[in-house]
Amino acid sequence: MPDSDDEHALTNAGLFERAQRVIPGGVNSPVRAFRSVGGSPYFVARAEGAHVWDVEGKRYTDFVQSYGAIIAGHAHPVIVEAVREAAGAGTSYGAPTEREVLLAEAICERVPSCEMVRLVSSGTEATMTAIRLARGHTGRPTIVKFAGCYHGHGDALLAESGSGVATLGLPGSAGVPESAVAETLVVPYNVVPELGDDVAAVIVEPVAANMGLVPPAPGFLEGLRKACDDAGALLIFDEVITGFRVDRGGAQALLGVTPDLSCFGKVIGGGLPIGALGGRAGVMSSLAPLGPVYQAGTLSGNPLATAAGLAALSLLDDAAYRMLCGRAEMFAQWLTQVFEDASLPAQVPVFGSLLGLYFGDAPATDYASAKGTDEALYARFFHACLDRGVALAPGAYEVLFPGLAHSKDELERVSDLVAAAAREVAGTY
Ligand SMILES: *Cc1c(COP(=O)(O)O)cnc(C)c1O
């Protein structure tokens, strides 16, 4: 071959340069950019289990896991085979399929508060639909959300939002007119607000996972349930991250508080685009075509996404959750020790199988305290880890997603790498 491989070899920097010419910021979701940590992203060539490989052949132990869409590990053979088989039978029809029924049944069976489910194509669509449904069902205008909670990028919910909005230090988004958020009330997390009779719904991440990891204070969710009941408002749990990740029945099963509506996404698509909205039949029946609240989607209930989602759920029995949560707890203890040994002020909160990482002296309890995390320290630690082949999210407000493929041995190996990263960072702290 006259051409050397090198001449055409893809590099992260080369791809990023090309990407920036044709894609704003070089990424199709701002959380993937390295804006807040500096440097430029690695471009993934392939992934398997707990690992991703970039286009230069470097391997990383991956804690991003598609921001929580992957729980069984990358390219799990059961999921890959389900998608392959489904694809061979057609990729989208515009007519209902058996798998949509199976996935809706699987969700209802696992989450008793869901008597009916509508499948959509993303978590954003699920929350957008949930608040439209709540407004349509109650005939009231106001939505209450909590600062630091992220509910996707729909206009009405992009106020004091977590995730990438927090990472980029934005108050909200340009292009969202005041009128779009005029009926969105933003209040502090972990404080039960007083609700007027104009409130259609309170939407909350039952365990906040987009401002780092902030578990609900004792009584917070119970208080929301009561406040909603007293005010005649609906309680919406956004379980797009926590659903089918922290427990078979989501955060609501662990916390014992029952919402009227629940939003899902991420895990239930097995890595393909999906979202779902579920709840009491009396409320869900207000959705078209049964009721007056319109919602639709060309690719809703997509054959590939439902196949992947069903395959993912089939791998998640009680034993799987016990293992996931046990390992997360253990990993959190190891990391806590690592930071202690390096004399770095860090908190590693854990809830179910979710881990947070907060650089500060005390755990965050709301958005104000979450923003106290030392972002500069996170950025240095992030790169020290990445250099050693450990991929955390490139933003201080995301969580870690250890999954079924992160074996005890792998977590132990990672803990040693992270310890070295912590020592390096502490040396210049
Ligand atoms: C990711 C996320 C969403 C949005 O889901 P997309 O599929 O990215 O649209 C909504 N709510 C929460 C809690 C999320 O973490």
The alpha carbon of 60 and the centre of ligand 1 are apart by a number of angstroms equal to 24
Residue of 65, 211, 241 with the most ligand 1 atoms within 8 Å of its CB, for mutation: 241
Instruction: CATH number of the domain at 243, please.
Output: 3.40.640.10
Given 3-state DSSP classes, what are the helix, strand and coil percentages for the chain, each rounded to the nearest 5? Answer: 40, 15, 45
The separation between CA 319 and the C-alpha centre of its own chain, rounded to angstroms, equals 22
d(CA 417, CA 390): 8
Q: Higher confidence at residue 8 or residue 413?
A: 413
106 part of a folded domain: yes
- Residues within 6 Å of ligand 1 by CB: 122-124, 127, 150-152, 205, 210, 238, 240-241, 265, 275
**Residue 148 DSSP code:** T
Q: Are 103 and 238 members of one domain?
A: yes
* CATH number where 36 lies: 3.90.1150.10
* Domain around 328: 12-63+317-426
Around 347, how many Cα atoms within 13 Å sit in the side-chain half-sphere?
A: 23
Give distance in angstroms: CA of 265 to centre of ligand 1.
Answer: 7
- CA 190 from chain centre, in angstroms, equals 19
3 is a domain residue: no
In the reported structure, the alpha carbon of residue 426 is separated from the centroid of ligand 1 by a whole-number distance in angstroms of 34
Q: What is the pLDDT of residues 284-309, one digit of tens each?
A: 999 999 999 999 999 999 999 999 99
Question: Any catalytic annotation for residue 294?
Answer: no
In a 3-state reduction of DSSP, which class is residue 54?
Answer: strand
Same domain, 260 and 162: yes
Q: Over pLDDT 90: what percentage of the chain?
A: 91
Backbone phi, psi, residue 263, to 5°: -110, 135
With CA atoms as reference, report the closest residue to 374 among 350, 346, 410: 346
- Please indicate, yes or no, whether residues 222 and 281 belong to a single structural domain of this protein: yes
Q: How far is the CA of 152 from the centre of ligand 1 (A)?
A: 5
Q: Which among 151, 203, 240 is the best mutation to test ligand 1's pocket, defined by most ligand atoms within 8 Å of the CB?
A: 240
How far does the centroid of ligand 1 lie from the alpha carbon of residue 106, in Å?
Answer: 21
The reply to whether 199 and 257 lie within a common domain is: yes
Which ligand 1 atom sits closest to the C-alpha of 266?
A: 7
CB 231 within 8 A of CB 197: yes
pTM, to two decimals: 0.96
> Are 43 and 88 found together in one domain?
no
Task: Say if residue 354 is in the same domain as residue 378.
Answer: yes
d(CA 167, CA 65): 18
Do both 325 and 341 map to the same domain? yes
Q: What residues are paired with 293 via a beta bridge? A: 287
Domain annotation covers residue 4: no
Pocket probe mutation, ligand 1, options 128, 165, 242, 266, max atoms within 8 Å of Cβ: 266
Look at 173-182, 309-318, 331-340, 395-404 and tell me which has the smallest mean pLDDT: 173-182
- Model confidence at 178, in pLDDT bands (50, 70, 90)? confident
Atom of ligand 1 nearest to the CA of 123: 5
Quick check: is 267 in a domain? yes
- Asked if residue 384 is part of any domain, the answer here is yes
Residue 421 Cα to ligand 1 middle (Å): 30
Annotated catalytic residue, options 42, 60, 67, 150: 150
Question: Does 68 fall in a domain?
Answer: no
- 296 and 393 assigned to the same domain: no
Q: Which residues contact 385 (CB under 8 A, 6 or more apart)?
A: 391, 392, 417, 418, 421
Which of 266, 298, 314 finishes a domain?
A: 314
pLDDT confidence of 5, banded at 50, 70, 90? low
Which residue, judged by its Cα, is nearest atom 11 of ligand 1? 151
d(CA 269, CA 273): 6
Decide which of 294, 314, 334 is a domain's last residue.
314
From the list 238, 247, 260, 366, the catalytic residue is 238
Q: Say if residue 150's pLDDT is above 50.
A: yes
pLDDT tens per residue across span 216-257: 999 999 999 999 999 999 999 999 999 999 999 999 999 999
Other CB atoms within 10 A of residue 250 CB: 28
Same-domain pairing of 112 and 222:
yes
* pLDDT category of residue 357 using cuts at 50, 70 and 90: very high
User: To the nearest whole number, what is the mean pLDDT of the chain?
Assistant: 95
The catalytic residue among 60, 145, 266, 397 is: 266
The count of domains in the chain is 2
- Are 192 and 288 in a shared domain? yes
Sign of CA dihedral 217, 248, 409, 387: negative
Ligand 1 atom nearest 241 alpha carbon: 15
Return the H-helix or E-strand segment holding 59.
strand 59-62
- Phi/psi at 27 (nearest 5 deg)? -135, 155
CA angle 61, 65, 70 (to 5 degrees): 130
Q: Which of 70, 151, 299 to mutate to test the pocket of ligand 1 (most atoms within 8 A of CB)?
A: 151
Our answer to whether residue 150 is catalytic in this structure is: yes
Q: Ligand 1 centre from 397 Cα, in Å? A: 14
Asked which of 284, 314, 344 is the last residue of a domain, the reply is: 314
Whether residue 127 sits in one domain with residue 37:
no
Residue 334 and residue 227 share a domain: no
Catalytic, 238? Answer: yes
State percent of the chain over pLDDT 70: 97
Of 372, 380, 360, 371, the closest CA to residue 421 belongs to 380
